[in-house]
Structure 1
């Protein structure tokens, strides 16, 4: 009987330590900040190559650009037709939902 009591006491001590570890883990998890909802995926750019080029130009730029400057950076002739086409593409890109909003 004493041996059985000793075994049960050892098991009880082990379960007590495990319960304490669970309590500490729970307190730690409850203390972590709420991660919030996941960010939505970035909107997909149109498949046309010009949109990819425009985004590359703005990624490389360190300041705001005008439509004619984008034409220059894309090696397009700075002509009214090209400027207007780039301006239209810029308006379409600006009208798309931003990443993370």
Structure 2
């Protein structure tokens, strides 16, 4: 009889531990189910949000030639608010006013116009866009 009571007591203790573990697991299962439901709601909400359209793309910036002469040329029209001729730019850059020099500057100015960096409002007059 004593043996039966000892065995019954041990089994009651084990059953109590298992019931306690089951209660803990059931609570954890409820937490996981709630989290899963929150994720489902979030996914459903995100699927109803309209996707953003393509961002307004800025026009590509004109590619600047690498040669330093272009940088010097571009600083000259920036100093004035009026269009300049190739000869005026030669004078501003302290270059000799020779046909060879003037034509070299003019060809560089035309390249800058072709790339959209400068404009030529009239033949031979070069300026920054917007001036």
Give the equivalent residue in structure 1 for 2:85. 66
Q: Does 1:82 align with 2:131?
A: no
Shift of 1:90: 1.0
Normalising by structure 1, we get a TM-score of 0.61
What residue ranges of structure 1 are gaps of 5+ in the alignment? none
The verdict on how the C-alpha distance between 1:91 and 1:42 changes in structure 2, with shifts beyond 3 A counting, is: closer
SS in 2 for 1:12: helix
Larger CA deviation: 76-85 vs 63-72: 76-85
RMSD, matched Cα = 3.3
The verdict on how the C-alpha distance between 1:93 and 1:76 changes in structure 2, with shifts beyond 3 A counting, is: same
The structure, 1 or 2, with the larger RCO (C-alpha pairs under 8 Å, 6+ apart) is 1
What residue ranges of structure 2 are gaps of 5+ in the alignment? 1-21, 118-131
The verdict on how the C-alpha distance between 1:84 and 1:10 changes in structure 2, with shifts beyond 3 A counting, is: same
SS in 1 for 2:73: helix
Give the equivalent residue in structure 2 for 1:92. 111
Normalising by structure 2, we get a TM-score of 0.51
* Higher percent of residues as strand: 2
